[in-house]
Amino acid sequence: MPLTDLFATRTEGMKASEIRELLKLLDQPEVISFAGGIPDPTLFPREAYQRAMIDCTGSTEAASALQYAPSEGYLPLRQWIARYMAQYGVICGADNILITAGSQQALDYLGKLFLDAGDTVLVGWPTYLGALGAFNAYQPRYDRLDVATNQPPAALQDAAGGRVKFSYLSPDFANPTGVSLDLAERGRILDLADALDIAVVEDGAYQALRYSGDRLPPLLAIEQARKGDIDACRTIYCGSFSKTLAPGLRVGWVVAARPVIGQMVLLKQAADLQTATLNQMVTARVAEELFEPHVEQLRAVYGARLKAMLAALDRHMPDGVRWTRPEGGMFVWCQLPEGIDGADLLAQALATEKVAFVPGGAFFADGSNRNTLRLNFSMPNEAQIEEGITRLGRTLRVAMAA
């Protein structure tokens, strides 16, 4: 019997992402790629990391930096995060915080914590593909979280056996749309969660990357202001240093009520004991030294790229194409005319114009809405954005004329 026949049924929902396969084709230098979703590596605070690494592995620190550490995470890092969250209106102690290996690990743990097979997760339509990937291992169903209408999801009424457990969303500059929720929408998400008696998983991965407009409070801050006590809150906030400092060290965090954190610490212990000690210590030092000024620099560079992309779209997109106008993050989302398939368009765009993007269908839990695409603006510079969007406009005109 092939070993694959012995794999657990939970693996059936796990498939190689269409996007990862496509990304392998993008190494050719002449391709202008809007397909990435990663920070510009030329902006990493490399020297600060280098100094912190040397400091932490120096004689006095090495004993702890190279040693096992508590599963909850390195205390000075949790204390820094508590101060950071306070700026956004979340008042919490270090014991409301768990350090994870990136926020992706937090998504996996939350699936493990809440989902029995057949339970339902409410997600945006579209939503972050990596969240679907993380939750899929726990065999949930998905239903649409519709903030515009705030209708209770259909699955609540007919969920055969399973229960709705949580909603998952990014209120700020979501991946893939770049769209943020306004204050009223944030309030409605919490109202719905109260009415359904479910948890809310708030993905704050892009929160700090705002380039225009006013800062809005995270869902957790709004809920805490309503309820007074963080330990009474149903919102579980997932944060990350990946988009602000560097993703390679894999340092993220969760802020939640203590009973949730307590159980997640047990999951962490069972899965990998702890997030790498040295990475946490180095991250704490770099964050302490330069987080705000560094993020200010990212905002200037990425903000200019977003502006360039919106201006290029205005100039070069044919009539019938619509796109979002984000105030931050890394992505702009395009809606193409009905009948234009994003994946077919990518094949055409790569072959004829050497420009790439991510087809949007993969971001829908049911694979629908194939006439969409995601454009990343954190990697290409302004000249590449202008040239790439010109090429994309040409590809679309040809596709729409066919």
Question: Residues in the site for ligand PMP, rule: CB under 6 A?
Answer: 37, 102-104, 128, 130, 170, 175, 203, 205, 240, 242, 247, 252
**DSSP string spanning 62-81?**
HHHHTS---TT--HHHHHHH
By C-beta, is 376 or 395 nearer to ligand PMP? Answer: 376
What b-and-e string marks burial along 128-166, b requiring 16 or more CB atoms within 10 Å of the CB? bbbbbbbbbbbbbbbbbbebeeeeebebeeebeebbbbb
User: Cα(62)–Cα(53) distance, rounded to whole angstroms?
Assistant: 10
Q: How far is the CB of 165 from ligand PMP (least distance, A)?
A: 19
By C-beta, is 170 or 224 nearer to ligand PMP? Answer: 170
By C-beta, is 235 or 242 nearer to ligand PMP? Answer: 242
By C-beta, is 71 or 100 nearer to ligand PMP? Answer: 100
Nearest Cα residue to 253 out of 48, 24, 84:
84
Q: How far is the CB of 340 from ligand PMP (least distance, A)?
A: 25
Nearest Cα residue to 152 out of 195, 118, 121, 182:
195
User: Cα(138)–Cα(162) distance, rounded to whole angstroms?
Assistant: 12
By C-beta, is 19 or 400 nearer to ligand PMP? Answer: 19
By C-beta, is 134 or 321 nearer to ligand PMP? Answer: 134
User: Cα(235)–Cα(223) distance, rounded to whole angstroms?
Assistant: 7
Q: How far is the CB of 46 from ligand PMP (least distance, A)?
A: 18
Q: How is residue 272 written in tokens?
A: 């990998």
By C-beta, is 126 or 247 nearer to ligand PMP? Answer: 247
Residue nearest to ligand PMP (CB): 102
Q: How far is the CB of 376 from ligand PMP (least distance, A)?
A: 10
Q: How far is the CB of 37 from ligand PMP (least distance, A)?
A: 5
Q: How is residue 226 written in tokens?
A: 């309503």
User: Cα(248)–Cα(135) distance, rounded to whole angstroms?
Assistant: 23
Q: How far is the CB of 278 from ligand PMP (least distance, A)?
A: 17
* Residue tagged 């705030």 (tokens): 150
Q: How far is the CB of 385 from ligand PMP (least distance, A)?
A: 20
